[in-house]
A and B are shown apart, each in its own frame.
Chain A
Amino acid sequence: MQFFGGSEISPSPPLPTASGNNAHMMYIFNRNGVCLLYREWNRPLRTLDSNQDHKLMFGLLFSLKSLTAKMDPSSAEKGNLGVPQLPGQGCSFHSFRTNTYKLSFMESPSGIKIILVTHPKASDLRESLKYIYNLYVEYVVKNPLYTPGTPIRSELFNTTLDQYVRGLG
């Protein structure tokens, strides 16, 4: 039983568009902050080495989540800033945009974080992230040779992911 959608991979991936690849990079973290996967399609600028970069990205998401949980205007009682929260607890966020990129973020109930960095004009990618999560479930979690918490080294997952992301508008 999957958490999102039906038993098969849904929705069907969109057809590749002529506009080409809009995605810059993607990260998958588990709940302990281990970077399970880092894919890069188009990244001209690198300011840090990859390990530092992953840590900084995880730290940014972690702090932004505590910021949004505290700032949430819909509830009065939110606890202190920075109290540990389980996935799904408190107000989270799904994307932010700067002048050079847009970051879309999804967290599964088990604490898997999927981050996709795209062109700033990209549309709402929440459904796409769910689709990528389904790919992860199908090709990684259901792989008997995969040990949870270790970096993903599945050729099949990588190629399917590349194909799907290339088709994103």
Chain B
Amino acid sequence: MAAIYSLYIINKSGGLIFYKDYGLQGRMDTNDSLRLASLWHSMHAISQQLSPILGCSGIELLEADTFDLHCFQSLTGTKFFVVSEPGTQNMENLLKHIYELYTDYVLKNPFYEMEMPIRCELFDINLAQSIQKDRVSYLGR
């Protein structure tokens, strides 16, 4: 079993710029993944509106019946979220690590256009490595 089912990165206007699937069900339809990403973007924004206390920065963890969704929003509004098995620990650190990879291999890539889909080979390689590492440590526990 995989600890992580999928990873999404959405830009500050809710467009999906990166999607990767690690589950057994195979890749979701492209249109569906785009729609899910923008739906999440708006749900995240609405959750801030409904906060009873000032200073809400949106949903961090959504616990569904069959999965957990962990979300990390960077200061510039780019959102990273992973869909994982229920109760998976340490996802905040993984998301921060993926953010680091994003800054190193995507933002510093001179050919990358901001807010556009990510097509960077180095990012893919390093991401696969850290997901693998995370999975190994998960299995080790």
Contacts and interface: CB of A to CB of B under 8 A. Distances in A.
Main secondary structure of the interface of A (DSSP, over half): mixed
Given A56-B49, A71-B36, 4 more contacts: A24-B53, A68-B67, A71-B64, A96-B62
State the 3 A-B residue pairs at the shortest beta-carbon distance, nearest first: A24-B52, A93-B64, A73-B5
Contacts of A98: 47-48, 51, 56-60
A94 B65 contact: yes
Interface of B: 5-6, 23-26, 32, 35-36, 39-40, 42-43, 46-67, 69, 83
B39 A45 contact: no
Nearest to B8: A71
A153 B6 CA distance: 46
Q: Which secondary structure characterizes the binding site on chain B?
A: mixed
B32 to A, nearest CB: 6
Nearest to B4: A73
Nearest to B57: A99
Nearest to B24: A73
What size tier do the contact residues of chain A reach? 35 or more
A34 interface: no
A63 B64 contact: no
Nearest to B23: A73
Contacts, number: 117
A15 interface: no
A148 interface: no
A44 B51 CA distance: 10
Contacts of A74: 66-67
B83 A71 contact: yes
A72 interface: yes
A43 B83 CA distance: 31
B46 A42 contact: no
Contact of A57 (B32, B42, B50): B50
10 contacts: A42-B52, A47-B49, A67-B36, A73-B25, A81-B36, A93-B62, A95-B62, A95-B63, A96-B47, A100-B52
